[in-house]
Amino acid sequence: MTLTKRSDGRKFDELRPMEAKVGVIKRANGSAMFKIGNTQAIAAVYGPRELYPGHLQNPEKGLLRCNYNMIAFSGAGDRVKPGPSRRSREISMVTENALNSIVDLNQYSNAVVDVFIELVNTDAGTRCAGICAAAMALADAGIPMRDMICAVSVGKVEDKIVVDLNYDEDSAEKGVDFPVAITARTGKVTLLQMDGLLKKDEIKDLLRAAKKAAEQINKVQVKAIREKYEK
Amino acid sequence: MKSHLKSLIEKDMREDSRKLDEHRKIKIEYGISTSAEGSARVTIGDTIVIAGVKMSLGTPFSDTPDEGVLIVNTELLPLSSPDFESGPPNIKSIELSRVVDRGIRESGAIDVKKLCIKKGEKVWLLNVDVYPLNDAGNLFDAASIAAIAALKDTKIPVVKDDKVEYKKRGTKSLPLDGYPVECTVYMIGDKLIVDPTTEEEELVEARLTVATYGNHLCAMQKGGVKGLTPEEVEKMVDLAVKKTDELRKLLK
């Protein structure tokens, strides 16, 4: 089968409309909202602050701790049961790895930088939206960063490579979901997962599509950060 | 800072130049979620709370076979305050959940009998989930308004072949008659205030949450350690009644 049109009428390489805002949570040291289509993530950064339990403390380096969570009414179908699941814990971990590759916490001995990511509304691509928001929130908190991170889910629907899958595409039979996080300046892939069936040669095309999408996402992120600080 | 705030309140003044019985600016926005059957965001000053209603089909409780089920749950997200921690609900969030829950439940504003589809077998389950996004004080009032606003915004989804069609938004509202609203009155020294900021909350010695509905009080909860004289209780109730009448107008 060949895909001629996407379910929401987008072009194959077209992202959903994006919105971003920095400084949405006053009590946090840094915060940001990132919205792509109907998927909306809010991230808050607290810290550097003292790390408990004490045995986790490292005098040479601060710890980055991420927590990804979907709020109860964020799913399109049934209510999401509150509390961590295997899925959310894994996503927290891969998010942490992606962000750890760009932050520099060497000066924060025995401290932790907590990143809380809440998905308030979802239509696929949640981990990517979460990472986009988290990276902006870290910048807003003034955490030393070597680069910016942009994340997007690319994939395949039938025979076509598409970017920024929505829920219908993500859950389609024989679809491929391929979330990627890429650093904006150096173009390094810091998160990569894949579900579905793929040929080896297609990886190159998927990564190229992701890189192109990441550039657009980065513009939105940078603009939002500038809006807060260039007032 | 603390003693400064306290001495201000003793002189009937507040740091942000409000009166003691005055709320910060309140904003209610409806339909903030495309995934929930009803939702609302309430902003009181810098405090932001969101609430959403998810409806599903389930079995009724055996002692109320012909009644739908309403459950209010709040979770104090660590995203919203440096004082909240990850993990299972702590006592603060349990109390908040239960106080908001009782205010709505005990009022009878929602006719749960109309949420019964087949007696003893199938009823609507209403999960109201309330989340603070920024805790700048007075989560009690914010959560209470957000919960009832989300219920007001709710449309019952269509059921086809025993399955809920979540994708289409329903057209029928909930059997909701009027709006139960809560106001919490806080005591600092011998002064009564409403809508404290985070800093003011630290000074609070006792608080009384009062839920009102129509001309009735429908739920109360005292918090804090300090004991209250009967006269003080009456005064707190009077103030709460006055304020809930004002708050209710915002829902119209």
For chain A, percent of residues with pLDDT exceeding 70: 100
Q: What is the mean pLDDT of residues A49-78?
A: 94
Instruction: Answer whether A95's CB lies under 8 Å from A118's CB.
Output: no
Which chain A residue is nearest to residue B167, measuring alpha carbons? Answer: A76
Instruction: Answer whether B113's CB lies under 8 Å from B28's CB.
Output: no
Q: What is the mean pLDDT of residues B178-200?
A: 96
User: What's the confidence (pLDDT) of residue B103?
Assistant: 95
Instruction: Answer whether A137's CB lies under 8 Å from A115's CB.
Output: yes
Token look-up 């024989």 returns A174
Structure tokens of B60? 């009724």
Residues 6+ apart with CB under 8 A from A176: A155, A156, A194, A195, A196, A197, A198
Structure tokens of A144? 């030393």
> Does the structure show a pLDDT above 90 at A76?
no
User: What's the confidence (pLDDT) of residue B86?
Assistant: 87
Instruction: Say if the Cβ atoms of B79 and A121 lie within 8 Å.
Output: no
Q: Answer whether the bond into residue A82 is a cis peptide, omega within 30°.
A: no
What CA–CA distance (Å, rounded) separates A168 from B107?
41
> Does the structure show a pLDDT above 80 at B1?
no
User: What's the confidence (pLDDT) of residue B238?
Assistant: 96
> Best of B41, B54, B73, B79 to disrupt the A interface by mutation (most A CBs within 10 Å)?
B79
> Does the structure show a pLDDT above 80 at A1?
no
User: What's the confidence (pLDDT) of residue A197?
Assistant: 87
What CA–CA distance (Å, rounded) separates B145 from B48?
11
B53-73 exposure pattern, b = at least 16 Cβ within 10 A, e = fewer: bbbbbeebeeeeeebbbbebb
Instruction: Answer whether B212's CB lies under 8 Å from B158's CB.
Output: no
For residue A174, name the pLDDT band (cuts at 50, 70, 90).
confident
> Does the structure show a pLDDT above 90 at B249?
yes
> Does the structure show a pLDDT above 80 at B33?
yes
Which chain B residue is nearest to residue A120, measuring alpha carbons? Answer: B33
Structure tokens of A40? 């909306």
User: What's the confidence (pLDDT) of residue B169?
Assistant: 87
Please indicate if any CB of chain B lies within 8 Å of the CB of A28.
yes
Instruction: Say if the Cβ atoms of A26 and B134 lie within 8 Å.
Output: yes
Nearest Cα of chain B lies from the Cα of A165 at a distance, in angstroms, of 17
Instruction: Say if the Cβ atoms of A73 and B33 lie within 8 Å.
Output: yes
Q: For residue A77, list chain B residues with Cβ-Cβ distance below 8 A.
A: 166
Q: What is the mean pLDDT of residues B15-28?
A: 96
For residue A44, name the pLDDT band (cuts at 50, 70, 90).
very high
Instruction: Answer whether A164's CB lies under 8 Å from A213's CB.
Output: yes
Considering chain B, what is the average pLDDT of its residues? 95
What CA–CA distance (Å, rounded) separates B12 from B15?
10
Model confidence pLDDT, tens digit, residues B133-183: 999 999 999 999 999 999 999 999 999 988 999 888 899 999 999 999 999
> Does the structure show a pLDDT above 90 at B200?
yes
Q: For residue A78, list chain B residues with Cβ-Cβ distance below 8 A.
A: 54, 56, 166
Residues 6+ apart with CB under 8 A from B36: A73, B52, B53, B54, B150
* Ordered domains of chain A (ranges, CATH): 18-229 (3.30.230.70)
Q: What is the mean pLDDT of residues A174-180?
A: 91
User: What's the confidence (pLDDT) of residue A139?
Assistant: 98
Which chain B residue is nearest to residue A27, measuring alpha carbons? Answer: B81
What CA–CA distance (Å, rounded) separates A79 from B115?
18
User: What's the confidence (pLDDT) of residue B161?
Assistant: 87
B23 closest CA partner among B169, B192, B196: B196
Instruction: Say if the Cβ atoms of A26 and B46 lie within 8 Å.
Output: yes
**Closest CB to A42 among B39, B79, B198:** B79
Please indicate if any CB of chain A lies within 8 Å of the CB of B171.
no
For residue A98, name the pLDDT band (cuts at 50, 70, 90).
very high
Q: What is this structure's pTM?
A: 0.91
Instruction: Say if the Cβ atoms of A82 and B54 lie within 8 Å.
Output: no
Instruction: Say if the Cβ atoms of B34 and A120 lie within 8 Å.
Output: no
Instruction: Say if the Cβ atoms of A27 and B54 lie within 8 Å.
Output: no
Structure tokens of B123? 């009823």
Q: For residue A83, list chain B residues with Cβ-Cβ distance below 8 A.
A: 88
Higher pLDDT, A154 or A4: A154
Instruction: Answer whether A149's CB lies under 8 Å from A99's CB.
Output: yes
Distances (CA, A) of A7 to A4, A157, A196: 10, 10, 19
Backbone φ and ψ for A195, nearest 5 degrees, come out as: -130, 125
Distances (CA, A) of B208 to A99, B140, B194, B238, B240: 44, 10, 10, 11, 9
User: What's the confidence (pLDDT) of residue A172?
Assistant: 85
Instruction: Say if the Cβ atoms of A73 and B54 lie within 8 Å.
Output: yes
Q: What is the mean pLDDT of residues A65-92?
A: 93
B83 closest CA partner among B31, B32, B41, B139: B139
What CA–CA distance (Å, rounded) separates B182 from B130?
15
Please indicate if any CB of chain A lies within 8 Å of the CB of B135.
yes
Which chain A residue is nearest to residue B75, measuring alpha carbons? Answer: A82
Please indicate if any CB of chain A lies within 8 Å of the CB of B43.
no
Hey, how many other C-beta atoms are within 10 angstroms of the C-beta on A86? 7
> Does the structure show a pLDDT above 80 at B29?
yes
**Domain definitions of chain B by residue range:** 15-251
Backbone φ and ψ for B153, nearest 5 degrees, come out as: -80, -10
Fold of the domain built from segment(s) B15-251: Ribosomal Protein S5; domain 2 (3.30.230)
What CA–CA distance (Å, rounded) separates B246 from B248?
5
Q: What is the mean pLDDT of residues A189-200?
A: 92
Considering chain A, what is the average pLDDT of its residues? 95
User: What's the confidence (pLDDT) of residue B16?
Assistant: 93
Please indicate if any CB of chain A lies within 8 Å of the CB of B33.
yes
